[in-house]
Amino acid sequence: MIDQIKARLNQIKNPATGATFEAENRWQHIAMDGDKLVAQYNRDGISPAEKRVIEGEIQKALGDLMVVDNIMVKTTSSQSQDVFKALDKQGEAPTKAPETQPAQIKAGHGTIDKKKPVPGVGKIIAIGSGKGGVGKSTFTSNLALSLAKKGHKVGIIDADIYGPSLPMIFGKRDEKPRSNSEKKIIPVEAFGIKFMSFGFFINENDPVIWRGPMLGGVLNQFLFDVDWSGLDYLLIDLPPGTGDIQLSMIQNAHVDAAIVISTPQDIALLDAKKGVEMFKKLNLPVIGMVENMSSFICSSCGTEHHIFGEGGVAKAVEQLQIDFLGQVPLEIELRTGSDHGLPYMSQDQFQGRPVWTSFMNVTEKVEHFFNPNPTPANKGGFFSKILGLNK
């Protein structure tokens, strides 16, 4: 039957050109997996509307041979504009090629391969929550800035594909990444932090209606096809949950450790505990848990209000036998900074305030986790300095 299937699929026509898939050599893979058909084609130059027409034609062509629900059609594309534009609204191509080119995302399926390091990166930290709405992206961006204040070079991967927020937090909503001469995507930079987000490749108002395996391919590209050279730390802002996106990233890349974020309330802790257990099952060391939004500090009177409960994470870490990294309270400026593209820890006027102090304390614990016995900068004394031994 597979020969009959291939013959029919080869006669599918590209609506954009009128030529058959066979003539354009579109098919990359056609095979049966049990009673299911897996067919993959190159969709360069094919718009979303034309792709839907093709899918309908495939179902019509094979409808008498097999159950439609057993037909799985995959696509790959080296042209991000074909994937991420809802309509064909591309601008004119420049007459002279620039030194950099628009970055391209391959909308293919991710694969789980042998773990490998990300070139140019010292340590990779996965930051998860198990549950959405606990302020993980705000925490991640401000932790990155805190690490930078300690002299580290830091980058972030915004892996929350369904709700990418780092472009807004860092004030780069209109940025379009470029690629260098080596076809590596150049990360966007703000406040000294390099970062990459799916939000750069889609319209803010467009929902991402993709299955997990497709997203895995994009996230894999964010790990290995972005120029992260020169980083001490790469933070991965994971999406909520414990699904295939989290698994594929952690299983593909050599991630060094994880941090789990939760609010004090029981419903958030329930999911956060699952996140901790996921990391443990993947043999990924957990640096500890952070209690975010631990309390609200009134800017007028200074009174502390425990809106989401009190001490929930401190109790949870005892049960989970992991470290407690501290509490981050709420301040109005923490929220407004994220909304207006001016992250809290980028504004030195907040130095010494409770949120500032909390982030710096968490940062010190992260540093201590990776370097528990740091060598003092002045070790060796006067003669070591003049002889150039203290470097």
Q: Please state the residue numbers annotated as binding site.
A: 130-137
Cα 257 off chain centre by? 16
CA-CA distances (angstroms) from residue 68 to 48, 50, 57, 73, 123? Answer: 20, 19, 12, 11, 46
138-151: b or e for each residue (b if 16 or more CB lie within 10 Å)?
bbbbbbbbbbbbee
- Determine the Cα–Cα distance for residues 137 and 108; give it in Å rounded to an integer: 26
Question: Which residues fall in the annotated binding site for ATP?
Answer: 130-137
Q: Where are the alpha helices (DSSP H) in 30-76?
A: 48-62
Q: Does residue 231 contact residue 154 with C-beta atoms inside 8 Å? A: yes
Q: Does residue 186 contact residue 179 with C-beta atoms inside 8 Å? A: yes
Sheet holding 178-179, edge to edge: 101-102, 178-179, 185-186
Q: Does residue 167 contact residue 338 with C-beta atoms inside 8 Å? A: no
- Determine the Cα–Cα distance for residues 221 and 104; give it in Å rounded to an integer: 10
- Determine the Cα–Cα distance for residues 105 and 62; give it in Å rounded to an integer: 30
Residues 145, 151, 153: CA angle, nearest 5 degrees: 65
Which has the closest alpha carbon to 345: 143, 170, 136?
143
